[in-house]
Chains A and B, each alone.
Chain A
Amino acid sequence: MSHQPKYAALWAYHADLLSEEGTARLERHLKDCEICQRALASIRTYEQLAREARRISIPPPDYGRMELRLRRTAKEVSEKIRAEKPPRMWPLLAGGVAAVAAVGLAFAGATGFEPEFGVTEAPEPTAAASAVAAELTAASGHVVRHTAYGAIPADVGSSVVEGDELRLIGDASAHLRLDEGTGVRLEGNSRVQLARLRDGEVSLRLRRGAIDNDVASLGLSERYEIHAGEFTVRVVGTRFRVRYVDGTLGVRVDEGEVQVLHRGSLLETVAAPGVFGVPGDAPVRPVFGHRWTEASAFQTLRLANDAVESWSIEHFDFDVSQLAVRVPEGDVHVRGFAEDKLVLEQVVAVLDDTAFSGTPELTPSAPEVRYGFLPPELILHTVRRSMSRLRACRDRLERQTGVAVSGRFTLRATIGLTGAVQRAQLVPMGEPAPASFNACVLGQVRNWSFPPPTGGFVRIEQPLRFSASM
């Protein structure tokens, strides 16, 4: 006769919680009941499994990778909290600089009253903000760096520190990368002093000339200002030019918004697309190289060719025939133009010993690639950790379009010398997947970060299979 096992009694027996009488009674029952015997064996098996599970040690998590994302989240949350609870001495800032500026202008228009802009007088930093790293990422012509110790030629790759002044002689041009993804392009005959280079507070003093700025998103408590004579141009947005020649200021905003102040009082808020004064006709060009803040290794690439009038590197243009630029290690796409025609094109493999890659002899040719080694288990470790993100691509597509991708794919990727993915390709073994799926997967793959390979690039092929929903 079959019956349901008495798990409560069996567990109590297993845990030695029964009385002597209860124990004897249960053991008598056990003797003849195979069902309860198996149930008791299951209880003991479970106890053993739980012990074993407790003893399994945790594989070491990749905390470094987490920190990158968490740092951004912490910054966002901190800014939000500070915006909601403004410091008592600086209350107007809470609503946002742009909003405050708009209110101020309305006052001025209606009453003729010149508003006192509390926001223009930012409080002194209460703690010593950490210094921002600035580096000369590209230069052509004669660029001089005036420091506290005298004037020295500014080489590409050299650091520029707070207080330094850069002077561009003649037609020289230079690109400067500041920390946190902000870049500045200096035109010929310009003089710029890096008056303050602190985390969240950048102040450039434009003594003469023109500079293009591409500023990373600023937190509410962060400032980025250009001082030109008695004028101040304060960033609310991102991409703008400031021109200051013979006491005349011109501002052109191509992206975002800036405030123009005179002796500390707001003159105008210029939103893109907009101009103030005479900034020059040329559009503000994106500033080369500053987006590469995450790359860990840079090398100097020098380019010179008599047949070339202008260079294009990764779609950034330089109207010079000789150029030195700081580029991250890996493949760099270089093109040379003469009279607006492409005269040469090459993918230059920038390696740790590439000081002068593709110089005057630069001619169209296949990329120079050197292969290295990365242990397969390290590759697999990174790949496995990222699988959930690839699944998310599939889920998202299914949610949005109802299309469920399934089947086999081969993921081909090239890992550069820094461990970053240089190229990635998803090859279907059967039916091709929708383009948005490919883009999503490849976007994820390009964010993968491997340990740096030894000796050169590493190419990997990873089979992937998406099966139907469980």
Chain B
Amino acid sequence: MTMDPIVERAKKGDAQAFHELFLANRDQVSRLVFRMLGPSPDVDDVVQDVFVHVYRSLPKFRGDSKFSTWLYRLTTNVTRMHLRRGRSRPRFADVPMPETSPTREPSATPDLTAERNRRVNALYRLLSGLSEKKRTVLILHDLEGISPKEISERVDAPIMTVRTRLFYARKELYAAIASDPTLAHSVEALLPNLPGRPKGEKESKTRQRKISQGAP
């Protein structure tokens, strides 16, 4: 496999080439780290750590795979290590999580954006309850849109294993969503419109319940 000339120069100890690698890849790495961590004040630190690892590990990069595949695998591993450390770490209570950036949708009002951010934060909270392997696969596939084949290269596992992890990750997440109080409203809102369920059924049941409780 032909190696990128910048990578080759960096492997030979060209400090400028390291800088060029950083410039060329920092946006993708930041994006992946952000997707894996969710809205977190640690994103910058992890991105920096990724590149420190890249610089230090590059001499060992043999070029068996594409540099980008190697880089994303390393990014995934560094982020996973960070998450693993965070699980046994005390939480900084007084520091609020940074607000996520508003979407580019012109129709997004501040209220809608805040509500959306609240739901996305809830999603990442539930994701943190998954095992590390399942969470990684789910984020890479469902949030980053990476194919199972590429995921298998990044996490160094067979494609079938990736698919299995993805299935069980989703299954666990569906169950968690169903029982999560923050998302209960979103789930309830979808129930009346489900196929096989006559419209208005929910409303009539609710009315009956209210009547039985003595509501007007």
CA distance A53 to B59 in the complex (A): 36
A79 touches which of B13, B59, B119 (Cβ 8 Å):
B13
A388 touches which of B42, B177, B197 (Cβ 8 Å):
B42
B194 touches A78 (CB 8 A): no
B119 touches which of A52, A63, A404, A467 (Cβ 8 Å):
A52
CA distance A75 to B13 in the complex (A): 8
Tell me if B196 counts as interface (CB < 8 A to partner A): yes
Tell me if A66 counts as interface (CB < 8 A to partner B): yes
A66 touches which of B34, B44, B88 (Cβ 8 Å):
B44
> Which has the most chain A C-beta neighbours within 10 Å: B14, B31, B195?
B195
Tell me if A59 counts as interface (CB < 8 A to partner B): yes
| Chain B residues near A385 (CB-CB < 8 A) | 41, 44-45
Tell me if A431 counts as interface (CB < 8 A to partner B): no
A61 touches B26 (CB 8 A): yes
**A30-B197, A41-B187, A52-B120 are known contacts. Are A78 and B91 too (CB-CB below 8 A)?**
no
Return A78 CB to nearest CB of chain B, in Å.
Answer: 4
Return B194 CB to nearest CB of chain A, in Å.
Answer: 5
A73 touches which of B55, B101, B124, B190 (Cβ 8 Å):
B55
A384 touches B47 (CB 8 A): no
CA distance A205 to B196 in the complex (A): 92
A61 touches B143 (CB 8 A): no
B178 touches A39 (CB 8 A): yes
Tell me if A7 counts as interface (CB < 8 A to partner B): yes
Binds A, one of B67-75, B154-162, B165-173: B165-173
Tell me if A89 counts as interface (CB < 8 A to partner B): no
| Chain A residues near B188 (CB-CB < 8 A) | 41
Nearest neighbor of B38 in chain A, beta-carbon distance: A53
Tell me if A154 counts as interface (CB < 8 A to partner B): no
**A31-B196, A38-B191, A67-B22 are known contacts. Are A387 and B91 too (CB-CB below 8 A)?**
no
| Chain B residues near A387 (CB-CB < 8 A) | 41-42, 92, 95
Return B177 CB to nearest CB of chain A, in Å.
Answer: 4
A466 touches B18 (CB 8 A): no
A441-470 at interface with B (beta carbon < 8 Å): 463-470
CA distance A77 to B195 in the complex (A): 61
**A56-B101, A81-B11 are known contacts. Are A73 and B56 too (CB-CB below 8 A)?**
yes
| Chain A residues near B90 (CB-CB < 8 A) | 391, 394, 404, 406, 466-470
Nearest neighbor of B117 in chain A, beta-carbon distance: A56
| Chain B residues near A45 (CB-CB < 8 A) | 177, 183, 186-187, 190
| Chain B residues near A383 (CB-CB < 8 A) | 95
Return A33 CB to nearest CB of chain B, in Å.
Answer: 9
Interface size in chain A (residues, C-beta < 8 A): 73
B56 touches A77 (CB 8 A): yes
Tell me if A43 counts as interface (CB < 8 A to partner B): yes
Tell me if B93 counts as interface (CB < 8 A to partner A): yes
B103 touches A42 (CB 8 A): no
A22-74 at interface with B (beta carbon < 8 Å): 26-31, 37-46, 48-50, 52-59, 61-63, 65-67, 69-71, 73-74
| Chain A residues near B88 (CB-CB < 8 A) | 469-470
Return B76 CB to nearest CB of chain A, in Å.
Answer: 17
Return A469 CB to nearest CB of chain B, in Å.
Answer: 5
Nearest neighbor of B87 in chain A, beta-carbon distance: A470
| Chain B residues near A80 (CB-CB < 8 A) | 13, 59
Interface of B is mostly: helix
B55 touches A74 (CB 8 A): yes
B56-108 at interface with A (beta carbon < 8 Å): 56, 58-59, 87-96, 98, 100-105
CA distance A39 to B179 in the complex (A): 10
CA distance A43 to B173 in the complex (A): 9
A69 touches B18 (CB 8 A): no
Tell me if A11 counts as interface (CB < 8 A to partner B): yes
A70 touches B190 (CB 8 A): no
B167-216 at interface with A (beta carbon < 8 Å): 167, 170-171, 173-175, 177-178, 183, 186-188, 190-191, 194-197
**A31-B196, A77-B56 are known contacts. Are A465 and B92 too (CB-CB below 8 A)?**
yes
A27 touches B195 (CB 8 A): yes
CA distance A52 to B38 in the complex (A): 12
A31 touches B14 (CB 8 A): no
B167 touches A8 (CB 8 A): yes
Return B104 CB to nearest CB of chain A, in Å.
Answer: 7
CA distance A78 to B194 in the complex (A): 61
Tell me if B12 counts as interface (CB < 8 A to partner A): yes
| Chain A residues near B4 (CB-CB < 8 A) | none
Tell me if B130 counts as interface (CB < 8 A to partner A): no
A77 touches B89 (CB 8 A): no
| Chain B residues near A55 (CB-CB < 8 A) | 103, 105
CA distance A40 to B195 in the complex (A): 10
Give A430-447 as 1s and 0s: 1 = Cβ < 8 Å from B's Cβ atoms. Answer: 000000000000000000
In the complex, 26 of the A-B residue pairs with CB atoms within 8 angstroms, ordered by the A residue number, are A37-B197, A38-B191, A41-B190, A46-B174, A49-B120, A49-B122, A52-B123, A56-B117, A57-B102, A58-B43, A59-B98, A62-B44, A70-B48, A74-B15, A80-B13, A82-B13, A383-B95, A384-B41, A384-B96, A385-B45, A464-B92, A464-B94, A465-B92, A466-B92, A469-B88, A470-B91
Q: A30-B197, A57-B100 are in contact. List 15 more A-B contacts (CB 8 A).
A: A28-B196, A40-B194, A41-B178, A42-B187, A45-B190, A46-B173, A49-B122, A52-B123, A57-B101, A66-B26, A66-B51, A73-B56, A463-B94, A464-B95, A465-B92
List the 9 shortest-distance A-B pairs measured between CB atoms, nearest first.
A81-B13, A30-B196, A74-B18, A27-B196, A78-B13, A31-B196, A41-B190, A42-B174, A384-B41
